[in-house]
């Protein structure tokens, strides 16, 4: 099948494996642009959207349930939390990022320029004395006390924190790869508007009707099992976690290809080049060969 029935799990984003070459790279490599790898289905933390063979999976979070009952108890817990903070942001200033794309600093600035009526507007980096530190337990507790969590892009479009906040029942502000109808469970505010100071995040969030907020939170809570990874020493019975969904997706993709269907990972097997694996040399391998010759 020309590699179309192969899959790979990678612990980084799709961009890390699609460099044009491997000549003294600061990060990543060209694994997924090699001819022998082009047809594989790859599970990554963030897909390179121009390449249909990348399938994004959630970042691992702090909570790994051992049973369906663990998940249901957790959903009841976050559903019943009293949320005293309107919004939160867990992160630090990013002075190393170019000014034209620096959004974290603007998010943090809006946190501390806000007034403090109840519910309090925002907790963020550079917290006041007595605020929780960024330990797993403290971060989870913070998210459980917050209605919305600000999730601007990090080094790439997504952040692990977005999934931690959703597991805590916190509505994410910004979007990423989850169900396409993102308005049902998240609030999208364009980065450019924040950087150019054209929008008040607090004002946008306060304008959302309470009934809408409740519906969004319930949708987030419903999605919790899909973004969790169960404890590997056990297995969920009726619920599907992130691993179940990913594996079923890969098997379904392979089955469709076997049926001759066009899928995101490429066309029918009959259209594969007959010499797909005849040449897998890359500049990286050539460099190794030259180094070997030098020695």
Residue 166 sits in the same domain as residue 278 = no
| Domain containing residue 15 | 7-58+237-284
Residue 79 sits in the same domain as residue 205 = yes
Residue 231 belongs to some domain of the structure:
no
Residue 94 sits in the same domain as residue 193 = yes
Of 274, 266, 257, residue with least CA distance to 32: 266
Specify the pLDDT at position 39: 79
Residue 232 belongs to some domain of the structure:
no
Residue 204 belongs to some domain of the structure:
yes
Higher pLDDT, 126 or 251: 251
**Where does a domain end: 198, 226, 254?**
226
Residue 218 clears pLDDT 90, i.e. is over it = yes
pLDDT tens per residue across span 23-60: 766 778 888 878 778 778 888 888 775 656 778 888 89
DSSP string, 154-214: -SSS--HHHHHHHHTTPEEES--SS-S-GGGT-B---HHHHHTT---HHHHHHTS-HHHHH
Interatomic CA distance for residues 46 and 176, integer angstroms: 9
Residue 43 sits in the same domain as residue 141 = no
Residue 161 sits in the same domain as residue 260 = no
Residue 49 belongs to some domain of the structure:
yes
């Amino acid at each position: 099948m020309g590699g179309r029935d192969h899959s790979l799990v990678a612990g980084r984003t799709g961009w890390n494996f699609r460099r044009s070459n491997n000549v003294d790279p600061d990060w990543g490599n060209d694994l997924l642009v090699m001819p022998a790898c082009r047809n594989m289905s790859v599970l990554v933390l963030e897909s390179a959207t121009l390449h249909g063979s990348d399938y994004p999976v959630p970042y691992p979070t702090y909570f790994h349930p051992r049973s369906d009952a663990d998940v249901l108890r957790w959903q009841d817990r976050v559903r019943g939390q009293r949320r005293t903070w309107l919004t939160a942001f867990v992160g630090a200033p990013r002075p190393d990022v170019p000014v034209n794309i620096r959004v974290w600093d603007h998010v943090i600035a809006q946190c501390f320029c806000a007034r403090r009526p109840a519910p309090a507007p925002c907790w963020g980096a550079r917290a006041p004395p007595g605020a929780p530190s960024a330990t797993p337990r403290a971060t989870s507790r913070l998210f459980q006390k917050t209605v919305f969590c600000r999730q601007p892009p990090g080094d790439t479009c997504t952040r692990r924190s977005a999934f931690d906040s959703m597991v805590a029942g916190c509505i994410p502000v910004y979007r990423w790869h989850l169900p396409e109808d993102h308005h049902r469970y998240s609030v999208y505010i364009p980065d450019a508007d924040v950087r150019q100071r054209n929008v008040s995040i607090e004002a946008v969030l306060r304008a959302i009707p309470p009934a809408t907020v409740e519906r969004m939170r319930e949708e987030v809570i419903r999605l919790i099992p899909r973004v969790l990874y169960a404890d590997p020493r056990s297995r969920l019975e009726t619920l599907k976690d992130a691993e179940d969904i990913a594996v079923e997706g890969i098997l379904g993709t392979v089955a469709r290809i076997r049926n001759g269907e066009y899928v995101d990972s490429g066309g029918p097997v009959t259209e594969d080049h007959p010499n797909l694996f005849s040449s897998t040399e890359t500049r990286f391998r050539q460099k190794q060969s030259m180094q070997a010759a030098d020695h």
